[in-house]
Amino acid sequence: MAGSPTIASIFAHKVVIGVGDMAVSNNSNATLSTYALGSCVGVIAYDPLTRAGGILHLMLPESRLSPDKAATQPAMFADTGLPLLFNALFGMRCEFTRLRLFIAGGASVVNGADPFRIGDRNLTAVKRFLQGCPCTITGYDVGGTINRTVHLEVGSGQVTLRLPDNTRQHALAS
């Protein structure tokens, strides 16, 4: 019957990750989403074997900028949020060597010169942390001056990147 919901849509589950937060899932009906990645960086991770994934929406590069805030909201910072993301994924039987990553954000969205270069500093902190990790970075969409929205379909590993002028797809499962 036209207009009737499908079984998949009845059981679909959408999780929205806010600024300075993260979420992981192994629910194949879940879609993880984070919106308005400007100078913030989104780290999207997926293990194709376990079909588990997560998104970290980090806001600042280093927890030493606000140790009290880092204690209550570790996902806000690259140096505390990335270990939090990976430990949560390891709890779902993901392994570093199987993880596929997509990195988005790190833009300079303020009008005029950005003396703090938060986007650049966030990207540098993420790259520095991931340097020694045996996971695979399968794609980037970073820098520039635009906001990005990212969705991860946990069942398939499909990443949808929405930009103000277009939409792109990126597969993390392969």
Q: What is the pTM of this model?
A: 0.90
So what's the pLDDT on residue 100?
97
Q: How far apart are the first and last CA of the chain?
A: 35
Is-contact 24 52, C-beta < 8 A?
Answer: yes
CATH number of the domain at 7-171, out of 1.10.150.120, 3.30.1330.200, 3.30.70.250, 3.40.50.20?
A: 3.30.1330.200
So what's the pLDDT on residue 166?
83
Is-contact 100 46, C-beta < 8 A?
Answer: yes
Task: Answer yes or no: 40 catalytic.
Answer: yes
Q: Sketch the domain layout of the chain as residue ranges.
A: 7-171
Angle at 100 between CA 98 and CA 103, to 5 degrees: 155
The torsion region of residue 153 among left (phi > 0), alpha (psi -120 to 50) and beta comes to beta
- From first to last of the 174 residues of the chain, give the pLDDT tens digit: 566 666 656 667 899 999 999 999 999 999 999 999 999 999 999 999 999 999 999 999 999 989 999 999 999 999 999 999 999 999 999 999 999 999 999 998 776 566 778 999 999 999 999 998 999 999 999 999 999 999 999 999 999 999 988 877 788 876
